[in-house]
Amino acid sequence: MATVTKENIGLLHEKLTVKLEKTDYLPSFEKALKEYSKKANIPGFRKGMVPSGLIKKMYGPSLFTDEVLKSVDRELIGYLETDKLDIFAQPLPLESDFTQLDVNKPADYTFNFEIGMKPEFQLSDLATAKITKYVVPVTDEMVNNEIDRLQNRHGNMKDEETVTSEENVLNVNFVEADADGNAVEGGITKDNSILVKYFSKASRKKWMGKKVEDAETVQLKKAFDAKELEWILSDLGLKDVTGGDERFFNIVITKVGMMEKRELNEEFFNLLYPNQDVKTEDDLRNKLKEEIERHWNAQANNQIHDQIFHQLVDNTEIKFPEGFLKKWIKTQGTQAEGQAPKTDEEVEQEFPGFLNQLKWTLISDKIVQDNAIQVDPEEIRVFAKQQLFSYMGGANLSDDQPWVADYVEKMMKDRKYVEDAYTRIQSTKIFEWAATQVKPKDKNIGADEFTKMVEEHQHSHH
């Protein structure tokens, strides 16, 4: 009769020994041999009439090994289920001598495995965590800028002969050059559209009076201030190139335009907010203020979630079977065909990030289990619908349009989409629950300062 025994070999690290007697695998081996002899197709013999001795000689060793290992797996799985062992990944085989498996000399066999046990732990106390809710006051300037943006976005572009204002829109061609304006062979060329006011204050005056086909040779870091320089470099493919901002370009005007802003009237308001009772400029300003407040409130909530994440990961004490996990990571390099196993150096390099991610997975799982957090199919359908409306800009879309339902049902048949949506919805619910456990303190902060803080935080985690 087969037996499985457990022996501790380290922190949350156990050795399982599976012992098989001949009676545990021989009946299934003999049955497999008989079934194979009925199906075997060997030249010179009628199907099902191949002598069992020949079958055993030709296929016995592989069938024997298969049945022994199936018996081992069966005993191992049964033991894990019966004892309700909560383990990481799957058991890893310790070194075993498979040459001992001899179809002609059946014997009792012993196989050893190692497992990593999942730890028990308590979550960090969120009630005492120092959490800040950043409040960005909505100013008249923010509302004015948004109105200006909408007027330009829905305005009409009028062609002009000459650059006369910082509000002129220039269609330009960037051509990489040297400091003297000579085009660089094989250099970067890129069309773009840019407002004159996006140039640095010192260089704007150079463009006044310019016409189509006029050009200026500029060094990027002098032609643009930091904010505009960043997206110019990105557009030219130089964002991550050392010294990219020091390069010179000939900027050739291909078109001069002036945006005629959309007039603030009821027709415009109805275009922006159809059937929403926005009749006057005051109505528009109030509507925009609400939207801007919602935007910054959502950003503030994201920051609370980020603080909660760090509070839980940094302050929840969890012990791991590190020896087992490092061995498991090493085996993952062999899963893809032709891929070499990971080296010890690669494992050590990956391990801190892997452990951090694993820690969050355990914390998330505990929150889900302890609070019975569930995601049902209808929530995934709603998620798919909201995502579709977001992609389409939300313009005049309603739930009762047949093609919307068709799209949702199509996505529900996409296994990868459903799994991704499930994970995202569950993650949202985890943070929503966690947010009810904290007591954040409000702190006023300017929009630029808040944005800079978020960017610096993201940069520090890359």
Residue 209 has pLDDT above 70, yes or no: yes
Q: What is the dihedral of CA 390, 393, 394, 399, to 10 degrees?
A: -60
Burial class of residue 80 (count of CB atoms within 10 Å of its CB; 0-12, 13-18, 19+): middle
Angle between helical axes of 322-332 and 344-370 (0-180°, round to 10): 110
Share of the chain above pLDDT 90, in %: 82
- Which tokens sit at 63? 């069938």
pLDDT over threshold 90, residue 399: no
Indicate the pLDDT class of residue 390, thresholds 50, 70 and 90: confident
SS3 content of the chain, % helix, strand, coil (to 5): 50, 15, 30
CA distances in angstroms from 174 to 20, 78, 253, listed in the order given? 75, 69, 9
Report the 10 Å Cβ neighbour count for 30.
14
**Predicted pLDDT of residue 97:** 67
How confident is the model over 357-365, as a mean pLDDT? 98
- Rounded to whole angstroms, what are the CA distances from 420 to 106, 206, 357, 395? 49, 52, 17, 26
Tokens representing residue 398 in the block: 């309603």
Contact 236, 174 (CB under 8 A): yes
For the cut 90, the answer to whether the pLDDT of residue 100 exceeds it is: no
Mean pLDDT of the chain: 93
Q: What is the pLDDT of residues 223-274, one digit of tens each?
A: 999 889 999 999 999 988 999 999 999 999 999 999 999 999 999 999 999 9
* Percent of residues, the chain, with pLDDT higher than 70: 96
Torsion of CA 222, 225, 228, 229, to 10 degrees: 40
CATH topology of domain 3-116: Alpha-Beta Plaits (3.30.70)
Whether residue 334 is predicted with pLDDT greater than 90 in this model: the reply is no
Query: What is the per-residue burial (b if ≥16 Cβ within 10 Å, else e) of 437-451?
Result: ebebeeeebebeebe
Q: How confident is the model at residue 137 (pLDDT cuts 50, 70, 90)?
A: very high
To which residue do tokens 């993952």 refer?
332
| Domain 279-460 listed as CATH 1.10.3120 | yes
Does the domain at 156-260 match CATH 3.40.640.10? Answer given as no
Q: What does the pLDDT look like over 160-183, one tens digit per residue?
A: 999 999 999 999 999 999 999 999
DSSP helix/strand/coil, 193: strand
| Rounded-to-integer distance, Cα 25 and Cα 185, Å | 74
Provide the pLDDT for residue 42: 80
Q: Which residues of 330-346 are buried (b: 16+ CB within 10 A; e: fewer)?
A: beeeeeeeeeeebeeee
Judging by DSSP bridges, how do beta strands 215-219 and 189-195 pair with one another?
A: unpaired
**What pLDDT, in 10s, does the model give residues 56-72?**
888 899 999 999 999 99
Per-residue pLDDT at 74: 96
Which sequence spans correspond to the domains of the chain? 3-116, 156-260, 279-460
The DSSP element (H or E) to which 414 belongs, if any, is none
Q: Give Cα 101 to chain centroid, integer Å.
A: 46
Rounded distance, CA 205 to CA 203, Å? 6
What number is the average pLDDT over the span 278-296?
A: 97
Regarding pTM above 0.85, the answer is no
Q: 158 or 97: which carries more pLDDT confidence?
A: 158
pLDDT one-digit tens code per residue, 19-28: 999 999 999 9
pLDDT at 396 over 80: no
